[in-house]
Structure 1
């Protein structure tokens, strides 16, 4: 009898010490979800699911939801929600033009300073408008240098290609206080009658394109796998890119966004192109320096609102915009120069102020483009529940892709009854898939749903995610 009691106590202790994945009750998951996972040989132990009605006191599904996992781009939910509450939905960035010289009869005898404050939304057309206003002010000839003041953010010397080896892909571009046009060139590939036409936008003379693409017949395969490019920096200001491989006629028109130059060089080259088109002259060169204390302001320009920026971040999962916001939070809460460490602390402090204790949370850059970032499905779900009760809920929810309607969720479940009834953020990295957001069921009740998986077979879980969304919609 004594042996039996000791044996039972030992079993109980071992069960308590076992990993969560071993103790979790698979019966909590809908049968359709389990079958979809099993069909793709995805271990149930690699999946976390959290489901709770926004008006309920507890979760209906809490399957392995306390495990810290990499959420990929679903981490943008935390960054954007924090930004909306800490900065305000009406927050705007400001870009300033200043000089240490004097303006006389259209001639600026001195340097032109561009002081950036991390605006993620300053695109080429906005830069054009800013410089157009400078011309209307009477400036034509700039006798000094173009000086970029990037001091709002701390200098980031990280290798942009360190994450996945894709040095020039736009999604890997690093933040900058003087960011313009996401320092990106969008290459449009179009199948012509005899050749593949390549059109860069913006078309900078310092980025030279060599077209060695072969036009082929037949269906359009995975077109990106058939296209190669090689980048060579000719000088400090000029870059040569050679495209080779093949492009099928059936592909029609495709786009590839690349970041080929560092932010300062790119901004300088774009400035020269626009300034020349506006009839202006720049006699000096590019320099990096802080604005001197005795400089005078010529003008400034405000960005779109943070609510609009958050919409761009979440609808299309823009990594660089999310990273700019993360650093802006750091600057506004801890001062300049902004660092990722201060952004991390600001968000942890904000969570603590809301009595949200997420001890497993790891933030690196706030975008989800990271192998280090971690959060549990339960805490991501609790974050969404808190957001639903927040004054900024309308701005956050409207920023999320609508299932089968727009953004990154446009092509999902287009024939399902849940179409248009879910606002979802998705995440995707090698070995990582996630989905988090709000679902409106058939009876008009709203649910918070989180699905996360970290496993080599993660890419095969789309059917399981879709099955979960359908199941939530059909709840009694």
Structure 2
């Protein structure tokens, strides 16, 4: 297994399949269309469906059948299928075997760990896993650390292929054993006229070099964007962090996607084990778990807890692992992207949701090829609303101007606290989908997808349309048929 990944920059073009515009029976809200025009976004690159949940027809349906890239709004599809197929109390497991006798706290053989895709093994939960292992009498390990990754079967991938940012945490690859979202955290500390860099956990054999220029600025906004971490030569195991850093920032934490998941798991497991006085004398090697019952079975928090972090903070790795888990549970291990796509698609079909325009790659929306129509997303939102698991589904969505990815959006608006919406953002893509509570207490499903070079300028149009919906303008005038 290569220690570092080699970077390539292949950026597939954005496809616009099935876009069509028909004459509107009535115009879309003027403030909305004006905001789109000011942003330079043509209406034929926008899809909108707005439907009160107590009516049978959409209030607005514009380009509802167009196959568009939803970015991270695709996480709604994966989350919906997961609640249906796995259930809200589903837990992932991580199994641990002691291959050898345990005498006076010393395991004389190997420690074997098999992962099944738990995406919630944070540092805190890894510590709890190790605590349970110590309670079973293991404090020192003389043999190897054996990692069984066989529950996932993943194609080779380049984390830089998506956007040329292989070290960005959102590009972290899924895996059967993933620790702390595959994040390696570095502490940046001004030290005289230089910036010192210290990893949270020991990284044996890895060199970290600071080429950061310290500036005297007191402003700290955008400090991460001013840094340029890179791995000039993967064979040298050297990370170089360049760029500029304002002295006024003080100490900050920078989390990066540096290693393959199994390598990060190894570093973090060994680091935490050493911090609590444990020793691990052998190497870390791949292998297969024995057929015997494990010494320890460590379970994740329930799926509902995972969905909150997955959707409110749009965690790609969690969504990708969940997508793969759906495939493994439906068709048996090993988990593959194809099995995940089949499991999701079949769940939607069972619930009467159109899959005609659906294209799935990883279920997270971190994709240039994933597609869905606004009409299908609206069907999903309405099916979720009718489900007995609606409370679990909705509670995982960001709340306007309150938390998650919407914490800083729509500030000062009447939308604050009254809209649960999943966000989606990529280059040339901006999306929102979820539920809006109107001024009179009605609930409305809302989908807006923008696929255009100026998509990043669409927030004013989103706000205008959401405020129009919330104020219930024309809600009592009957449903519109904006697309024939």
If the length of structure 1 is used for normalisation, what is the TM-score?
0.91
Deviates more, 1:313-322 or 1:178-187: 178-187
Aligned residue number for residue 305 of structure 2: 308
Q: Which moved more, 1:150-159 or 1:253-262?
A: 253-262
In structure 2, distance between residues paired with 1:404 and 1:268: 39
Which has the greater radius of gyration?
1
Larger deviation, residues 61-70 vs 147-156: 147-156
Asked if residue 230 in structure 1 is aligned to residue 233 in structure 2, the reply is no
Kept in 1: contact 2:96–2:294 (CA 8 A): yes
- Cα pair 2:201 2:271 within 8 Å, conserved: no
Change over 3 Å in CA distance of 1:280–1:253 after alignment to 2: closer
TM-superposed deviation, 1:265:
1.7
Give the alignment of 1:400-411 within 5 angstroms.
400-411=397-408
Aligned residues of 2:185 and 2:199 also touching (Cα < 8 A):
yes
- Contact conserved, 1:239 with 1:260, CA < 8 A, in 2? no
Distance 1:85 1:365, change over 3 A: same
Other-structure match for 1:343 = 340
Could you tell me how far apart the structure 2 residues matched to 1:203 and 1:405 are?
37
Q: 2:238 aligns to what?
A: 240
CA drift of 1:39 comes to 0.7
Please give the alpha-carbon distance, in whole angstroms, between the structure 2 residues aligned to 1:414 and 1:26. Answer: 33
Extract unaligned runs of 5+ from structure 2: 1-17, 474-484
Compare 424-433 and 164-173 and name the one that shifted more. Answer: 164-173
Aligned to 1:35: 34
Query: Aligned-residue CA RMSD in angstroms?
Result: 2.0
> Where does residue 186 of structure 2 map in the other structure?
187
The partner residue of 2:320 within 320, 323, 333 is 323
Tell me the secondary structure at the aligned position of residue 152 of structure 1: coil
SS of the residue corresponding to residue 324 of structure 2 reads helix
Secondary structure of 2:137's counterpart equals coil
Are the structure 2 counterparts of residues 346 and 444 from structure 1 closer, same or farther at C-alpha, using a change threshold of 3 Å?
same
Number of the residue aligned with 1:8: none
Deviation at 1:106, TM superposition (A): 2.5
Cα distance between partner residues in 2 of 1:454 and 1:176: 30
Uncovered stretches (5+) of structure 1, i.e. residues with no partner: 1-18
How far residue 97 of structure 1 moved from its aligned partner, in angstroms, is 0.6
What is aligned with 1:54?
53
Name the CA shift for 1:192/1:22 in 2 (closer, same or farther; >3 Å). same
Q: C-alpha distance in 2, partners of 1:321/1:232?
A: 29
Report deviation, 1:397.
0.5
* Worse-matched range after superposition: 320-329 or 129-138: 129-138
Offset at residue 214 of structure 1 (A): 1.6
**C-alpha displacement of 1:128:** 1.6
TM-aligned CA deviation for residue 351 of structure 1: 1.1
Do the aligned partners of 2:167 and 2:229 also contact (CA within 8 Å) in 1?
no
Displaced runs of 4 or more, over 6 A: none
2:386 to 377, 386, 389: 389
Residue 210 (1) aligns with residue 209 (2): yes
Closer/same/farther in 2, CA of residues 332 and 32 from structure 1, 3 Å limit: same
Instruction: Tell me how far apart the structure 1 counterparts of residues 252 and 28 of structure 2 sit (CA, whole Å).
Output: 40
* Structure of higher RCO (CA pairs closer than 8 Å, 6+ residues apart): 2
Deviations 1:79-99 (A, max 9, x none): 011111110111111111113
Q: Work out the number of aligned pairs and report it.
A: 455
For 1:195 and 1:181, the matched residues in 2 are separated by: 29
Q: SS of the residue aligned with 1:159?
A: coil
Alpha-carbon contact 1:451-1:465 (below 8 Å) kept: yes
1:289 deviates by: 1.5
| Pair 1:214–1:318, CA change in 2 (3 A) | same
2:288 aligned residue: 290
Q: 1:399 to 1:27 in 2, by over 3 A?
A: same
Q: Report if the CA contact (8 A) 1:135-1:280 is conserved.
A: no
In structure 2, the partner of 1:161 is: 160
CA contact (8 A) 1:431 1:458 kept: yes
Higher helix share: 1
2:96 maps to 1:100:
no
Determine the C-alpha separation between the residues in 2 that align with 1:450 and 1:206.
49
Match of 1:132 in 2: 131
Paired with 1:256 and 1:29, the residues of 2 have a C-alpha distance of: 44
- Could you say which residue in structure 2 is the equivalent of 1:12? none
Q: Counterpart in 2 of 1:269? A: 267
Q: 1:303 to 1:24 in 2, by over 3 A?
A: farther
Aligned partner of residue 211 in structure 2, secondary structure: strand
